[in-house]
Chains A and B, each alone.
Chain A
């Protein structure tokens, strides 16, 4: 046990000593203010009055379903469809449902909210959507992107066509929203929020019609995904000090059943084909945090990917599913490194280490063809394009925020 380990065990006591909790002098003034403040009427919040049964789906008893064969069968269907699409659509502009694709347009949200297209080859920037918003993210089809016009902490989600036309609000939600992403088929936004009444409300919002199908679940799930080609929800339950459990449910919330339980984990990331989850272990204790694993959802096999020497966070699969890019923290600095999922290869470090003290890490993503990785560092605001095999990298001055998304394009 190091000196800091002993210190860490005393943090609660030392913080109490430092803070010297006592009744603050302003309490009476606070109570005078509240006494003068009118309360909101209860009817102004609909959830206050709806009985739990009206808004919480009663879950059926967990039945045994042969989910593994179903998952495998579903993947076979998906692959067959993908093969047909590839064969019949060799001249189509749509990319394959998943896997490597041609690099299309690279969009970025500028600090003023404008959405710009940046060409790494020429270094030129052109406006796509003036006054768009943050968090620009393409769907897997590359046909549209979402962006967030939030100003008050409550998400305000919009969708536009790939060329910036047709932008429209598709969903506005409460400040209790915790997760927003595309379904893997690119047809819906999958949104999770934690209402004050407890549990999780999942919103499946059609990208074309804006119809919001809500699914109320009676437990807290920290992340949600809709795997490609399924009418299912993949749900992750992280609870401190408890095993992290991956669940599958029908997309109406029925038949919720556990797929696998692993030691406490964080940063789950679904592979492009929806068959595996990468995550970082997150057990109690500094030294047990940040070891990468990949869990095969069909077989339940959990594979250790990194050792405990460094701390690894935020793994992301490459388009072909053979690599992970992740943040690696070592001795107060961090870098983005590539880890191969087969063969005993050393990680490939992309670029020099960055200062872990000042920044919030980095935003990073694979290019659609899987040959490159974009990294934008928070500490100095620089953005770079690295080859997955390493090397010096190319600066990308047109990427000025942590928000960027590269379109998957067809041939």
Chain B
């Protein structure tokens, strides 16, 4: 059974079909929400809100082929709503457990770049971070990013460009600063 058929069945109330759709999309959407919100609990709330909204409103979706874009819109607008509600609350947690080391490749280089990215993303405003995550992690073109986040395309382009500018500055500054390794694998 293909995805369109699953959507059509779920649209008619087949919850098992919907469960299969959840399995297809939840991994990437959960990861994206965590990258945007930088808080596992908030990301869980946003993803759940998006999927519950999708189940509830699925009968009103006219074109089953647009399910993925529609679902993304529900999840990421829930993320934006979460950002606005949490605006005064600053929670910055490391996204990685300390023992999450890759087993192949240039280990030190990968860890260093990953930590640079983590720090660069942390410095971005959440609304800007959302554009960067949707564009690079999910591979969404900027028009789709704008639609998913409910912002004008020009705003998406501006935030994307300026986010890169900020990340460029952040990473350049980090590369100029001598780094030492602390206990637990965290880099200073």
Contacts and interface: CB of A to CB of B under 8 A. Distances in A.
A31 B19 contact: yes
A23 B19 CA distance: 13
Given A14-B117, A20-B95, A48-B61, 5 more contacts: A16-B137, A18-B117, A39-B57, A314-B158, A356-B162
B161 A314 contact: no
A12 B28 CA distance: 12
A197 B96 contact: no
Given A18-B95, A26-B44, A34-B18, A196 B61 contact: yes
Interface stretch (A2-10, A99-107, A251-259): A2-10
A354 interface: no
A314 B154 contact: yes
Interface string B91-128: 00001100010100000001001101110010101000
A175 B70 CA distance: 12
B89 to A, nearest CB: 18
B30 interface: yes
B100 A37 contact: no
Contact of A8 (B56, B143, B164): B164
Interface string B151-176: 01110011001101111110110010
Interface of B: 11, 13, 15, 18-19, 22-23, 26-28, 30-32, 34-35, 44, 47-48, 51-52, 55-63, 66, 70, 77, 95-96, 100, 102, 110, 113-114, 116-118, 121, 123, 125, 132-133, 136-137, 139, 141-143, 146-147, 150, 152-154, 157-158, 161-162, 164-169, 171-172, 175
Given A30-B48, A39-B56, A196 B63 contact: yes
Interface stretch (A121-129, A135-143, A183-191, A235-243): A235-243
B143 A14 contact: no
Contacts of A45: 57, 59-60, 62
B172 A18 contact: no
A34 B26 CA distance: 14
B31 A238 contact: no
A3 B27 CA distance: 31
A240 B147 CA distance: 13
Contact of A30 (B51, B62, B132): B51
A37 B117 contact: no
Among A27, A194, A356, max chain B CB count under 10 A is at A27
Contact of A24 (B19, B26, B100, B169): B26
Q: How large is the interface on A (under 10, 10 to 19, 20 to 34, 35 or more residues)?
A: 35 or more
A196 B118 CA distance: 34
A12 B166 CA distance: 17
Interface in A20-70: 20-24, 26-27, 30-31, 33-35, 37-42, 44-45, 47-48
A403 interface: no
A228 interface: no
Interface stretch (A282-290, A340-348, A384-392): A282-290
A10 B22 CA distance: 28
Nearest to A265: B157
Contact of A4 (B55, B77, B172): B172
B95 to A, nearest CB: 6
B26 A23 contact: yes
Contacts of B15: 31, 34-35
A83 to B, nearest CB: 35
13 contacts: A17-B102, A19-B35, A22-B27, A22-B31, A26-B44, A30-B51, A31-B15, A39-B58, A48-B60, A48-B62, A240-B143, A267-B154, A356-B162
Nearest to B55: A34
A329 B102 CA distance: 38
B117 A12 contact: no
A72 to B, nearest CB: 29
Given A21-B31, A30-B48, A239-B141, A7 B59 contact: no
